[in-house]
Homo-oligomer: A and B are copies of this chain.
Amino acid sequence: MFEFKIISKDKHKKARTGEILTSHGIIKTPCFMPVATYATVKTLSSEDIKEIGYQMLIANAYHLYLKPGTEIIKKFGSLHKFMNWNGAIVTDSGGFQMFSLEGVKIQEDGVIFKSMIDGSKHFFSPEISMEIQEKIGADIVMAFDYCPKDWTNYGEVKESVHKTTRWAKRCKDSHKNENQSLWGIVQGGIYPELRKESFEELESIGFSGYGLGGLSIGEPWEKTIETIDFLSSIIPELKSKYFMGLGMPEQIVEMVSLGIDVFDCGMPTRIARTGTTLSWKGKFNIKNSVYKNDFSSLDENCDCFVCKNYTKAYIRHLFHAREILGMRLNSYHNLYFLCRFMEKIQKNIEAGTFLEFKNKFCRN
Protein backbone atom coordinates (compact mmCIF):
# COMPACT_ATOMS: atom_id res chain seq x y z
CA MET A 1 0.00 0.00 0.00
CA PHE A 2 1.74 3.09 -1.21
CA GLU A 3 0.79 6.00 -3.34
CA PHE A 4 1.94 9.54 -3.87
CA LYS A 5 -0.30 12.18 -5.32
CA ILE A 6 0.27 15.80 -6.07
CA ILE A 7 -2.39 18.08 -4.67
CA SER A 8 -1.24 21.47 -5.87
CA LYS A 9 1.66 23.10 -7.65
CA ASP A 10 3.18 26.53 -7.28
CA LYS A 11 3.09 28.59 -10.44
CA HIS A 12 6.52 30.21 -10.02
CA LYS A 13 8.60 27.44 -8.51
CA LYS A 14 8.74 23.64 -8.50
CA ALA A 15 7.18 23.65 -5.06
CA ARG A 16 4.20 21.33 -4.69
CA THR A 17 1.96 19.87 -2.04
CA GLY A 18 1.11 16.22 -2.06
CA GLU A 19 -0.04 13.23 -0.11
CA ILE A 20 1.88 10.10 0.71
CA LEU A 21 -0.45 7.20 1.48
CA THR A 22 0.89 4.64 3.92
CA SER A 23 -0.58 1.82 6.02
CA HIS A 24 -0.34 4.25 8.93
CA GLY A 25 -2.10 7.26 7.53
CA ILE A 26 -1.88 9.88 4.84
CA ILE A 27 1.09 12.23 5.13
CA LYS A 28 0.71 15.70 3.74
CA THR A 29 3.86 16.98 1.97
CA PRO A 30 6.16 18.87 2.00
CA CYS A 31 6.86 17.40 5.41
CA PHE A 32 9.61 17.19 7.97
CA MET A 33 10.22 13.96 9.90
CA PRO A 34 11.55 14.08 13.47
CA VAL A 35 14.45 11.69 14.01
CA ALA A 36 13.81 8.81 16.42
CA THR A 37 17.10 6.95 15.94
CA TYR A 38 16.61 4.60 18.91
CA ALA A 39 12.81 4.49 18.82
CA THR A 40 12.42 7.84 20.60
CA VAL A 41 12.83 11.43 19.51
CA LYS A 42 15.39 12.41 22.14
CA THR A 43 13.74 13.63 25.41
CA LEU A 44 10.22 13.33 23.90
CA SER A 45 7.49 10.71 24.06
CA SER A 46 5.44 9.41 21.14
CA GLU A 47 2.49 11.28 22.68
CA ASP A 48 4.47 14.53 22.44
CA ILE A 49 5.26 13.94 18.74
CA LYS A 50 1.60 13.21 18.02
CA GLU A 51 0.43 16.22 20.02
CA ILE A 52 2.83 18.46 18.09
CA GLY A 53 1.17 17.26 14.90
CA TYR A 54 3.67 15.03 13.15
CA GLN A 55 2.35 12.18 11.02
CA MET A 56 5.62 10.42 10.19
CA LEU A 57 8.98 9.95 11.85
CA ILE A 58 12.22 8.26 10.90
CA ALA A 59 14.15 5.63 12.83
CA ASN A 60 17.44 3.94 12.04
CA ALA A 61 17.70 0.27 11.10
CA TYR A 62 21.40 0.10 11.99
CA HIS A 63 20.92 1.50 15.51
CA LEU A 64 17.81 -0.56 16.23
CA TYR A 65 19.54 -3.71 14.99
CA LEU A 66 22.20 -3.16 17.67
CA LYS A 67 19.72 -1.93 20.32
CA PRO A 68 17.25 -3.33 21.33
CA GLY A 69 17.78 -5.86 18.53
CA THR A 70 15.53 -6.60 15.58
CA GLU A 71 13.96 -9.73 17.04
CA ILE A 72 12.52 -7.87 20.03
CA ILE A 73 10.82 -5.33 17.77
CA LYS A 74 9.49 -8.11 15.57
CA LYS A 75 7.97 -9.81 18.61
CA PHE A 76 5.99 -6.63 19.24
CA GLY A 77 4.63 -6.79 15.70
CA SER A 78 6.43 -3.66 14.54
CA LEU A 79 8.29 -0.57 15.70
CA HIS A 80 4.93 1.25 15.82
CA LYS A 81 3.80 -0.97 18.67
CA PHE A 82 7.20 -1.07 20.37
CA MET A 83 7.31 2.72 20.69
CA ASN A 84 3.54 3.30 20.80
CA TRP A 85 3.48 5.41 17.65
CA ASN A 86 0.45 5.00 15.41
CA GLY A 87 1.71 7.29 12.67
CA ALA A 88 3.90 6.34 9.74
CA ILE A 89 7.55 5.34 10.09
CA VAL A 90 10.47 5.48 7.69
CA THR A 91 13.64 3.54 8.44
CA ASP A 92 16.96 4.55 7.07
CA SER A 93 19.03 1.54 6.11
CA GLY A 94 21.91 2.65 8.28
CA GLY A 95 24.53 2.71 5.53
CA PHE A 96 25.27 6.37 6.12
CA GLN A 97 25.94 5.82 9.84
CA MET A 98 27.90 2.62 9.26
CA PHE A 99 30.38 4.12 6.81
CA SER A 100 31.46 6.72 9.31
CA LEU A 101 32.57 4.03 11.78
CA GLU A 102 36.23 3.26 12.29
CA GLY A 103 37.51 -0.02 10.91
CA VAL A 104 34.52 -0.59 8.63
CA LYS A 105 35.28 -2.92 5.69
CA ILE A 106 33.26 -2.35 2.54
CA GLN A 107 33.06 -5.34 0.20
CA GLU A 108 30.98 -6.08 -2.87
CA ASP A 109 28.67 -8.37 -0.94
CA GLY A 110 28.21 -5.95 1.96
CA VAL A 111 29.82 -4.25 4.91
CA ILE A 112 31.71 -5.67 7.89
CA PHE A 113 31.67 -3.36 10.89
CA LYS A 114 32.24 -3.37 14.60
CA SER A 115 29.42 -2.57 16.99
CA MET A 116 29.96 0.83 18.60
CA ILE A 117 28.42 -0.69 21.73
CA ASP A 118 30.57 -3.73 22.46
CA GLY A 119 33.04 -3.98 19.58
CA SER A 120 31.45 -7.20 18.29
CA LYS A 121 31.73 -7.91 14.55
CA HIS A 122 28.67 -7.63 12.29
CA PHE A 123 27.87 -7.97 8.62
CA PHE A 124 25.27 -5.93 6.72
CA SER A 125 24.32 -6.60 3.12
CA PRO A 126 21.47 -5.24 0.99
CA GLU A 127 19.55 -8.45 1.72
CA ILE A 128 20.20 -8.28 5.45
CA SER A 129 19.24 -4.60 5.56
CA MET A 130 15.93 -5.43 3.86
CA GLU A 131 15.31 -8.29 6.27
CA ILE A 132 16.01 -6.05 9.26
CA GLN A 133 13.82 -3.24 7.95
CA GLU A 134 11.05 -5.72 7.24
CA LYS A 135 11.21 -6.98 10.81
CA ILE A 136 11.18 -3.43 12.14
CA GLY A 137 8.07 -2.98 10.03
CA ALA A 138 8.45 0.61 8.80
CA ASP A 139 6.01 1.95 6.21
CA ILE A 140 8.78 3.26 4.01
CA VAL A 141 12.17 1.55 3.91
CA MET A 142 15.32 2.88 2.30
CA ALA A 143 17.63 0.90 0.04
CA PHE A 144 21.05 0.04 1.45
CA ASP A 145 23.24 2.59 -0.32
CA TYR A 146 26.90 3.45 -0.36
CA CYS A 147 27.64 7.03 0.60
CA PRO A 148 31.16 8.22 -0.34
CA LYS A 149 33.29 9.60 2.49
CA ASP A 150 34.82 12.39 0.40
CA TRP A 151 32.43 14.32 -1.86
CA THR A 152 35.40 15.99 -3.62
CA ASN A 153 36.84 12.65 -4.76
CA TYR A 154 35.25 12.08 -8.20
CA GLY A 155 36.50 8.51 -8.43
CA GLU A 156 35.03 7.55 -5.08
CA VAL A 157 31.73 9.27 -5.86
CA LYS A 158 31.55 7.45 -9.20
CA GLU A 159 32.26 4.13 -7.54
CA SER A 160 29.56 4.86 -4.95
CA VAL A 161 27.02 5.39 -7.72
CA HIS A 162 27.64 1.99 -9.26
CA LYS A 163 27.84 0.13 -5.98
CA THR A 164 24.62 1.85 -4.87
CA THR A 165 22.93 0.69 -8.07
CA ARG A 166 24.08 -2.91 -7.68
CA TRP A 167 23.02 -2.93 -4.04
CA ALA A 168 19.70 -1.26 -4.89
CA LYS A 169 18.95 -4.07 -7.35
CA ARG A 170 19.62 -6.64 -4.63
CA CYS A 171 17.41 -4.67 -2.20
CA LYS A 172 14.59 -4.63 -4.73
CA ASP A 173 14.98 -8.35 -5.44
CA SER A 174 14.90 -9.32 -1.78
CA HIS A 175 12.16 -6.92 -0.71
CA LYS A 176 8.85 -8.79 -0.56
CA ASN A 177 6.67 -6.93 1.94
CA GLU A 178 3.81 -5.25 0.09
CA ASN A 179 2.92 -3.09 3.07
CA GLN A 180 6.28 -1.41 2.83
CA SER A 181 7.28 1.04 0.17
CA LEU A 182 10.94 0.71 -0.90
CA TRP A 183 12.71 3.91 -1.88
CA GLY A 184 16.00 4.12 -3.73
CA ILE A 185 18.80 6.48 -2.76
CA VAL A 186 20.39 8.58 -5.49
CA GLN A 187 24.13 9.19 -5.13
CA GLY A 188 26.54 11.10 -7.38
CA GLY A 189 27.76 13.98 -5.24
CA ILE A 190 27.73 17.38 -6.92
CA TYR A 191 28.38 15.94 -10.39
CA PRO A 192 25.32 16.19 -12.68
CA GLU A 193 26.44 13.37 -15.00
CA LEU A 194 26.89 11.00 -12.02
CA ARG A 195 23.57 12.06 -10.50
CA LYS A 196 21.88 11.40 -13.84
CA GLU A 197 23.51 8.01 -14.15
CA SER A 198 22.59 7.11 -10.58
CA PHE A 199 18.97 8.14 -10.98
CA GLU A 200 18.48 6.46 -14.36
CA GLU A 201 19.95 3.19 -13.15
CA LEU A 202 17.71 3.25 -10.08
CA GLU A 203 14.64 4.23 -12.07
CA SER A 204 15.21 1.29 -14.40
CA ILE A 205 15.08 -0.96 -11.35
CA GLY A 206 11.97 0.93 -10.21
CA PHE A 207 11.29 2.57 -6.84
CA SER A 208 8.25 4.35 -5.40
CA GLY A 209 10.26 7.31 -4.22
CA TYR A 210 13.79 8.60 -4.03
CA GLY A 211 16.03 9.63 -1.21
CA LEU A 212 18.57 12.16 -2.38
CA GLY A 213 21.70 11.11 -0.53
CA GLY A 214 25.29 12.25 -0.26
CA LEU A 215 24.39 15.91 0.23
CA SER A 216 24.64 18.25 3.18
CA ILE A 217 27.96 16.59 4.02
CA GLY A 218 30.24 19.59 3.63
CA GLU A 219 29.69 20.75 0.04
CA PRO A 220 28.99 24.48 -0.58
CA TRP A 221 25.31 25.40 -0.33
CA GLU A 222 25.20 26.66 -3.95
CA LYS A 223 26.34 23.21 -5.08
CA THR A 224 23.59 21.62 -2.98
CA ILE A 225 21.05 23.89 -4.66
CA GLU A 226 22.42 23.19 -8.15
CA THR A 227 22.38 19.44 -7.54
CA ILE A 228 18.84 19.36 -6.17
CA ASP A 229 17.63 21.64 -8.94
CA PHE A 230 19.13 19.29 -11.49
CA LEU A 231 17.75 16.14 -9.84
CA SER A 232 14.36 17.71 -9.53
CA SER A 233 14.33 18.30 -13.29
CA ILE A 234 15.10 14.67 -14.16
CA ILE A 235 13.08 12.78 -11.54
CA PRO A 236 9.48 12.34 -12.74
CA GLU A 237 7.00 14.64 -11.09
CA LEU A 238 5.01 11.74 -9.66
CA LYS A 239 7.88 10.32 -7.65
CA SER A 240 8.31 11.72 -4.15
CA LYS A 241 11.68 13.29 -3.39
CA TYR A 242 13.27 13.08 0.01
CA PHE A 243 16.28 15.21 0.92
CA MET A 244 18.07 13.10 3.52
CA GLY A 245 19.53 14.96 6.47
CA LEU A 246 18.37 18.54 6.02
CA GLY A 247 16.37 20.35 8.67
CA MET A 248 17.02 24.05 9.15
CA PRO A 249 13.98 26.14 8.16
CA GLU A 250 15.83 28.47 5.79
CA GLN A 251 17.26 25.42 3.98
CA ILE A 252 13.94 23.60 3.90
CA VAL A 253 12.04 26.48 2.30
CA GLU A 254 14.72 26.76 -0.40
CA MET A 255 14.58 23.04 -1.14
CA VAL A 256 10.78 23.02 -1.21
CA SER A 257 11.01 25.64 -3.96
CA LEU A 258 13.07 23.11 -5.92
CA GLY A 259 10.46 20.38 -5.55
CA ILE A 260 11.53 18.46 -2.43
CA ASP A 261 8.68 16.70 -0.60
CA VAL A 262 10.24 15.09 2.46
CA PHE A 263 12.94 16.14 4.94
CA ASP A 264 14.54 14.68 8.04
CA CYS A 265 17.32 15.87 10.29
CA GLY A 266 18.54 15.38 13.83
CA MET A 267 19.72 18.98 13.90
CA PRO A 268 16.55 20.75 15.19
CA THR A 269 16.48 18.54 18.27
CA ARG A 270 20.28 18.31 18.64
CA ILE A 271 20.66 22.09 18.76
CA ALA A 272 17.62 22.28 21.04
CA ARG A 273 19.51 20.21 23.60
CA THR A 274 22.36 22.70 23.62
CA GLY A 275 20.04 25.69 23.93
CA THR A 276 19.38 26.83 20.37
CA THR A 277 15.77 27.83 19.85
CA LEU A 278 14.04 28.19 16.49
CA SER A 279 11.56 31.04 16.14
CA TRP A 280 9.71 33.02 13.50
CA LYS A 281 12.29 35.75 14.01
CA GLY A 282 15.25 33.42 13.55
CA LYS A 283 17.47 31.27 15.78
CA PHE A 284 18.85 32.28 19.17
CA ASN A 285 20.57 30.59 22.09
CA ILE A 286 18.39 30.61 25.19
CA LYS A 287 21.44 30.30 27.47
CA ASN A 288 22.48 33.86 26.54
CA SER A 289 22.54 36.25 29.51
CA VAL A 290 20.18 38.71 27.76
CA TYR A 291 17.33 36.28 28.57
CA LYS A 292 18.08 36.20 32.30
CA ASN A 293 15.13 38.44 33.16
CA ASP A 294 13.09 37.90 30.01
CA PHE A 295 9.49 37.17 30.92
CA SER A 296 8.39 36.55 27.33
CA SER A 297 7.90 33.12 25.77
CA LEU A 298 10.45 31.50 23.43
CA ASP A 299 8.47 32.81 20.46
CA GLU A 300 5.61 35.29 20.73
CA ASN A 301 4.06 33.82 17.58
CA CYS A 302 4.09 30.24 18.84
CA ASP A 303 1.20 28.60 20.68
CA CYS A 304 2.92 25.40 21.80
CA PHE A 305 2.52 24.32 25.43
CA VAL A 306 6.04 25.51 26.19
CA CYS A 307 5.35 29.00 24.87
CA LYS A 308 1.95 29.12 26.57
CA ASN A 309 3.35 28.14 29.97
CA TYR A 310 7.01 29.09 30.29
CA THR A 311 9.27 32.08 29.89
CA LYS A 312 12.70 32.52 28.37
CA ALA A 313 14.07 33.29 31.87
CA TYR A 314 12.78 29.96 33.23
CA ILE A 315 14.06 27.89 30.32
CA ARG A 316 17.43 29.68 30.46
CA HIS A 317 17.57 28.83 34.17
CA LEU A 318 16.89 25.15 33.44
CA PHE A 319 19.81 25.05 31.01
CA HIS A 320 22.13 26.76 33.48
CA ALA A 321 21.04 24.42 36.27
CA ARG A 322 21.65 21.49 33.86
CA GLU A 323 18.07 20.38 34.28
CA ILE A 324 16.89 17.88 31.67
CA LEU A 325 13.55 19.67 31.45
CA GLY A 326 15.33 22.50 29.63
CA MET A 327 16.39 20.18 26.80
CA ARG A 328 12.93 18.66 26.73
CA LEU A 329 11.01 21.94 26.54
CA ASN A 330 13.34 23.36 23.90
CA SER A 331 13.15 20.17 21.81
CA TYR A 332 9.36 20.24 21.99
CA HIS A 333 9.27 23.87 20.92
CA ASN A 334 11.72 23.44 18.02
CA LEU A 335 9.76 20.49 16.63
CA TYR A 336 6.49 22.36 17.11
CA PHE A 337 7.92 25.33 15.28
CA LEU A 338 9.08 23.15 12.37
CA CYS A 339 5.72 21.39 12.15
CA ARG A 340 3.87 24.72 11.91
CA PHE A 341 6.52 25.92 9.47
CA MET A 342 5.82 22.98 7.14
CA GLU A 343 2.07 23.61 7.42
CA LYS A 344 2.60 27.25 6.45
CA ILE A 345 4.65 26.14 3.47
CA GLN A 346 1.83 23.80 2.43
CA LYS A 347 -0.84 26.48 2.85
CA ASN A 348 1.16 29.07 0.96
CA ILE A 349 1.77 26.70 -1.95
CA GLU A 350 -1.94 25.97 -2.10
CA ALA A 351 -2.84 29.66 -1.85
CA GLY A 352 -0.36 30.55 -4.59
CA THR A 353 1.66 32.71 -2.20
CA PHE A 354 4.66 30.45 -1.64
CA LEU A 355 7.20 32.79 -3.21
CA GLU A 356 6.12 35.73 -1.03
CA PHE A 357 6.18 33.50 2.03
CA LYS A 358 9.67 32.24 1.19
CA ASN A 359 11.04 35.71 0.57
CA LYS A 360 9.49 37.12 3.72
CA PHE A 361 10.75 34.25 5.85
CA CYS A 362 14.29 34.47 4.50
CA ARG A 363 14.37 38.24 5.20
CA ASN A 364 13.52 37.57 8.86
List residues of A whose CB falls within 8 A of some B CB. 38-40, 42-47, 63, 67-68, 72, 75-76, 82-84, 292-293, 295, 305, 309-311, 313-314, 316-318, 320-321, 323-325, 327-329
Contacts and interface: CB of A to CB of B under 8 A. Distances in A.
B314 A67 contact: no
A295 B43 contact: no
Given A295-B76, A305-B47, A309-B47, A314 B39 contact: yes
B67 A317 contact: yes
A352 B160 CA distance: 76
19 contacts: A38-B317, A38-B318, A39-B317, A40-B318, A42-B323, A42-B324, A43-B328, A44-B325, A67-B317, A68-B313, A68-B321, A72-B292, A76-B313, A82-B311, A82-B317, A84-B310, A84-B314, A324-B324, A324-B328
Contacts of A76: 295, 311, 313
B325 A40 contact: yes
A342 to B, nearest CB: 24
Contacts of A327: 324
A96 B196 CA distance: 70
Contact of A45 (B311, B317, B325): B325
Nearest to A67: B321
Number of copies: 2
A324 B322 CA distance: 13
Interchain residue pairs A-B with the least CB separation, the first 6: A68-B317, A38-B321, A40-B325, A84-B309, A43-B324, A40-B323
Contact of A320 (B42, B67, B82, B325): B67
Nearest to A316: B68
Contacts of A328: 43, 45, 324, 328
Contacts of A325: 40, 42-45
A287 to B, nearest CB: 12
Given A39-B317, A45-B309, 4 more contacts: A40-B318, A47-B305, A75-B295, A83-B314
Contacts of A67: 317, 320-321
Nearest to A327: B324
Contacts of A292: 68, 72
Nearest to A71: B293
Instruction: Identify which of A314, A318, A320 gathers the most chain B CB atoms within 10 Å of its CB.
Output: A314
Contacts of A293: 72, 75
A295 B318 CA distance: 35
A67 B82 CA distance: 39
A40 to B, nearest CB: 5
B40 A313 contact: no
B320 A68 contact: yes
A315 to B, nearest CB: 10
A87 B328 CA distance: 22
Given A293-B72, A293-B75, A314-B84, A323 B47 contact: no
